[in-house]
Structure 1
Amino acid sequence: MAESVEMRAQVRETYGPADLSSVPVFAGGFINFGYWRSIDLAGPLSVDDRVRSQEDLYRHVLDAAGPLTGRHLLEVGCGLGVGCALAVREYRPEHVTGMDIHPQQLDRARNANAALLDASPPRLRFVRGAAEGMPFEDAAFDRVHSVEAAQHFDDLAAFARETARVLRPGGRVVVASFFTPDDDPGHGTRLADLLDSFADGLDIARPVGRLTEAFTRAGLTDARVTSVGPEVWEGWDRWLSDQWAPGTWPRNFLKAYQEGSLDYYVVTATRVV
């Protein structure tokens, strides 16, 4: 098992004493931008629509990881664990492990999912650990997934190596997050100008190809990238429009996408042996 990894100050402060999931834009306990394909953006959006968008992002990722029945799943960067609970309820895995680096997030996850944690037989647990140093034995999981957390990972190569290590042969990894489309260094400068989360170092500007290359170097195969930006950015901005004025920094995610400096991707890879 890998050694522990220190949490960056920006991550500790953002997800620490103030529960980010309590902010109205992240209704339902999820902390993601949402996948809006099945939601009508022409009319008013309800809180139920917002929650569904976030659930649907998890469903999109879990469908890409499938089949999941009877499997052992690991979510890296599980936050409050509501995505883990969705996986348990809807996908019939044998067991789900939610891992997060932040102890306060894990406390919230255990409180939010107490009924599932107490179920017999147990199908859910929460463990503290970092993407770059996972506290698990080799070949412990059939599937590894991560939803909107990789933009915080310090070292994508270390994450890829750890993922390859904890996956069983035939296992699959699915990552959903936002990256730059290529390695043009101007993207990072532009994102820092547009978005506070990049300016203060919470989110790290990196090309999506860096993750696929890391998976391949770690011994995983068939690394693939799919853009889901059309299903993410417009709905996110539409949801924000009732709470944030045009030109405020959260509205600039759509602008960064339209300018070609940022996109939202689903990245998959497989461990053959």
Structure 2
Amino acid sequence: MLTSEPGQQPAPAVRPEVWETYGPADLSAVPVFAGGFINFGYWRSIDLERPLAESDRVRSEQDLYRHVLDAAAPEGARAVEIGCGLGLGCALALDEYRPAAITGVDIHPHQLRRAREANAPLLRARPQRLRFALGAAEKLPLDDAEFDCLYSVEAAQHFPDLPAFAREAARVLRPGGRVAVASFFTVDDAPAHADRLAGLLDSFASGLDIARPVSRLADALTDAGLVDVRVRSIGPQVWPGWDRWLARLWEPGTWPRNFLAAWEQDILDYYLVTATRP
């Protein structure tokens, strides 16, 4: 049975790039991730023609969660987030979508410590409805058929084994359970994409982000026995706004500004992938 206390589950192996990026330095404290959600944002409701404020940035991060949660449909359900980071998305889901209970899973022990600290009042007030657990996407510390929906926001680009993640998603979902995953992938399986992304973006060159086609996740979900697998690009609502926000902090020609270039060159895109356990 899952426990929410640190130290009661075997520690999963963490890739060195992930350990360093989400470790003691605390990526959520970097100004580009104002608000602490650590995602690129969903900017559809934000006017990009005017100067952006920090409140716009936070709204974009929250709206990406809302877009995924709309697809996952957690109301009244037992929900789990994979790669929960500081758990702010779990708190948003609990507040706005009224799940019966929600569990946040993350592979990095520092992130889980921060999640428990950031959500301490909620954990005290709603101990039966919110919990956090240390675990890898490929080997979840969760019971079979424990959840009605499973979602993940901008974490799958780090998962080393998408088929293992898909099998675990299928295992922990009840019949009729929903999966919703938002992340960035290559647009197809052309061999040159990985090298081109490594040349454009330091996060791919370092191995932090893994270059794979979105079809690999869709096929993995299908192979795991899930049905109604759907892939939808949400790049137009992500990349232009993300680059506008980056322009406040990064000069043209610096590597973070190349996410937009990779999208415009039809190498990389941002997707929402959904599926159902029959």
State if a TM-score over 0.5 links the two structures.
Answer: yes
- The Cα of 1:122 is off from its aligned counterpart by 2.5
Are residues 1:231 and 2:247 paired? no
- Find the counterpart in structure 1 of residue 4 from structure 2: none
Show the 5 A alignment for 1:77-96. 77-96=83-102
RMSD of the alignment, in Å? 1.3
- Find the counterpart in structure 2 of residue 74 from structure 1: 80
Show the 5 A alignment for 1:16-165. 16-66=23-73, 68-120=74-126, 122-165=128-171
How far apart, CA to CA, are the structure 2 residues paired with 1:5 and 1:110? 19
Identity %: 69
Check whether the contact 2:11–2:134 (CA below 8 A) recurs between aligned residues: no
Paired AA for residue 247 in structure 1: G
Hey, which bits of structure 1, 4+ residues long, moved more than 3 A? 1-5
Evaluate the alpha carbon distance shift between residue 245 and residue 160 of structure 1 in structure 2; reply closer, same or farther with a 3 A threshold. same
Show the 5 A alignment for 1:170-181. 170-181=176-187
- Find the counterpart in structure 2 of residue 206 from structure 1: 212
Q: SS of the residue aligned with 1:28?
A: coil
Q: SS of the residue aligned with 1:134?
A: coil
Q: Deviations over 1:43-85 (max 9, x none)?
A: 110000000000000000000111x221000000000000000
TM norm structure 1: 0.97
Q: SS of the residue aligned with 1:108?
A: helix
How far apart, CA to CA, are the structure 2 residues paired with 1:211 and 1:120? 34
Check whether the contact 1:99–1:129 (CA below 8 A) recurs between aligned residues: yes
How far apart, CA to CA, are the structure 2 residues paired with 1:141 and 1:93? 11
Evaluate the alpha carbon distance shift between residue 220 and residue 4 of structure 1 in structure 2; reply closer, same or farther with a 3 A threshold. farther
How far apart, CA to CA, are the structure 2 residues paired with 1:149 and 1:125? 19
- The Cα of 1:120 is off from its aligned counterpart by 4.0
Paired AA for residue 182 in structure 1: D
Q: Deviations over 1:172-214 (max 9, x none)?
A: 0000000001000111110000000000000000000000100
Q: SS of the residue aligned with 1:237?
A: helix
Evaluate the alpha carbon distance shift between residue 245 and residue 253 of structure 1 in structure 2; reply closer, same or farther with a 3 A threshold. same
- Find the counterpart in structure 2 of residue 244 from structure 1: 250
Are residues 1:6 and 2:13 paired? yes
Q: Deviations over 1:121-149 (max 9, x none)?
A: 52110000000000111001000000000
Q: SS of the residue aligned with 1:34?
A: coil
TM norm structure 2: 0.96
Q: 1:184 aligns with which of 170, 181, 190?
A: 190
Q: 1:256 aligns with which of 262, 272, 278?
A: 262
How far apart, CA to CA, are the structure 1 residues paired with 2:75 and 2:274? 19
How far apart, CA to CA, are the structure 2 residues paired with 1:200 and 1:184? 20
- Find the counterpart in structure 1 of residue 5 from structure 2: none
Check whether the contact 1:27–1:50 (CA below 8 A) recurs between aligned residues: yes
How far apart, CA to CA, are the structure 2 residues paired with 1:135 and 1:21? 25
Q: 2:173 aligns with which of 167, 177, 200?
A: 167
How far apart, CA to CA, are the structure 1 residues paired with 2:24 and 2:123? 23
Q: Deviations over 1:199-230 (max 9, x none)?
A: 00000000000001000000000111000000
The answer for unaligned runs of 5 or more in structure 1 is none
Check whether the contact 2:189–2:213 (CA below 8 A) recurs between aligned residues: yes
Check whether the contact 1:172–1:271 (CA below 8 A) recurs between aligned residues: yes
The answer for unaligned runs of 5 or more in structure 2 is 2-8
Check whether the contact 1:149–1:177 (CA below 8 A) recurs between aligned residues: yes
How far apart, CA to CA, are the structure 2 residues paired with 1:237 and 1:145? 25
